[in-house]
Amino acid sequence: MSTIEPLPDKSSEASPGVPEVPADVLAELRSTWTPRPAPDGPGRAARHRLAEAARRLVEAVKLADAEGDADALQSVADDVSDLAARIAALPSLRDREPNLADLQLHERSPLVGAANPLAPPMELEADGPVIRAHAVFNAAYEGPLGRVHGGYVAAAFDEVMGVAQSGSGRLGMTAYLTVRMKRSTPLHERVDYEAEVTRVEGRKAWVTARSYAGGVLVADAEGLFVRPRALVLQDEARAAGEA
Ligand SMILES: CCCCCCCC/C=C\CCCCCCCC(=O)SCCNC(=O)CCNC(=O)[C@H](O)C(C)(C)COP(=O)(O)OP(=O)(O)OC[C@H]1O[C@@H](n2cnc3c(N)ncnc32)[C@H](O)[C@@H]1OP(=O)(O)O
């Protein structure tokens, strides 16, 4: 757990241009990702454990010293290669229809997914229309020495802001994302995020976000999320059916 103070709560400061979203609509939009569900069985718990072990593996590989014992490196390369083949031979999600638990952001996402070894994983939390998140990036995410790669800085914002757009009452896709990296984002320490919708116009929602390390602002971002035309047509057909 972090020892830093919680970020200021801005959820009561209604932004102009953001419609009030009924609680049941927000809950429905967020049902695929919050709260982080407990594993729905021993297989899923084992899969999460596997992903966590794979995260440690990736970081250890990243840090393995080329000036160390070359034979030992060759030997573990063989072992890891065998292990990859063993895992690939297990029953695969490619072989069946994914269920709801498989599809959850918390399961599969490359940023928050417990089953995805690429995910740090980030933790997400809804606070009214504001989404808060935190993550610790290990050595595998290094760009500048000791600091998080800018692409991952942006990816983390996309995830948090992609979830925060639920504050607009519906979900779209990232049309643009602008990140201002004011300071470099540190590795190995908790980074906090907050994001919220600032404006909604038709199927467009603008979202802003900030990240902090040790309580100090390191980056902020603005993005536009657009509900694809095809989905808007589906929404309208559904609404007409319900009327
Ligand atoms: C859809 C729901 C999916 C959500 C599922 C979530 C489930 C879990 C819940 C939550 C988790 C979220 C966590 C994940 C977060 C990650 C999100 C991502 O990374 S998404 C992947 C990266 N983004 C893409 O791949 C987009 C690629 N682009 C497109 O598909 C289209 O360009 C799209 C949908 C953005 C717009 O296409 P059009 O054909 O529907 O609409 P047009 O007519 O082109 O634009 C509509 C309006 O938007 C403006 N617009 C579009 N793109 C713009 C841009 N780049 N900059 C400025 N304006 C733009 C246009 O000028 C137009 O404005 P005017 O109506 O004329 O005023």
ipTM: 0.93
**Distant-in-sequence, close-in-space partners of 215: CB < 8 Å, separation ≥ 6:** 4, 5
Residue 234 Cα to ligand 1 midpoint, Å, equals 16
Residue 66 CB coordination number (10 Å): 6
Spans of all domains in the chain: 120-242
User: pLDDT by residue (tens digit) across 58-117?
Assistant: 999 999 999 999 999 999 999 999 999 999 999 999 999 999 899 989 999 999 999 999
Per-residue pLDDT reduced to its tens digit, 197-222: 999 999 999 999 999 999 999 999 99
63 lines ligand 1 (CB under 6 A): no
Atom from ligand 1 closest to the CA of residue 204: 48
Which residue is closest in CA terms to ligand 1's atom 50? 175
Q: Which of 173, 180, 174, 175 is nearest to 232 (CA)?
A: 173
Q: What is the mean pLDDT of the chain?
A: 92
Share of the chain above pLDDT 90, in %: 76
Which pLDDT score, from 0 to 100, does residue 162 have?
96
Find out if CATH 3.10.129.10 is the number for domain 120-242: yes
State residue 13's pLDDT score. 52
Residue located nearest, by CA, to atom 59 of ligand 1: 175
